[in-house]
A and B are shown apart, each in its own frame.
Chain A
Amino acid sequence: MQTRRETIKQSMVVAGLLATAGFPQYAQAAFNKVGFDAKSIQDAVKAYGGGAIAESKDVTITGPDIAENGAVVPLGASTNLAGVKQLLVLVEKNPSALVAMFHVSDAVDANFLTRAKMGQSSDVYAVAIMADGKALFAKKEVKVTLGGCGG
Chain B
Amino acid sequence: MADPMRIRAQASGDKATVRVLMSHEMETGQRKDAAGKTVPAWFIQEVTASHNGKPILNAEWGPAVSKNPFMQFAVKGAKAGDKIAITWKDNKGDSRTDEATVS
Tell me whether A and B are bound partners. yes
Question: Is B28 interfacial (CB 8 A cutoff)?
Answer: yes
Bound state CA distance, A76 and B54, in angstroms?
Answer: 25
B65-A114 in contact (CB<8A): yes
Question: Is A32 interfacial (CB 8 A cutoff)?
Answer: yes
Bound state CA distance, A111 and B71, in angstroms?
Answer: 11
How many chain A residues touch B (Cβ–Cβ < 8 Å)? 38
Contacts of A130 in B (CB 8 A): none
Question: Is B79 interfacial (CB 8 A cutoff)?
Answer: no
Q: Could you write out 20 A-B pairs with CB less than 8 Å apart?
A: A29-B46, A31-B91, A71-B66, A74-B70, A91-B64, A100-B65, A102-B73, A103-B58, A107-B56, A107-B76, A108-B73, A108-B75, A109-B76, A112-B59, A113-B70, A115-B70, A116-B66, A117-B28, A117-B65, A118-B64
Which of B's residues lie within 8 Å of A, judged by CB?
15, 26, 28, 30-32, 45-46, 49, 51, 54-67, 69-77, 89, 91
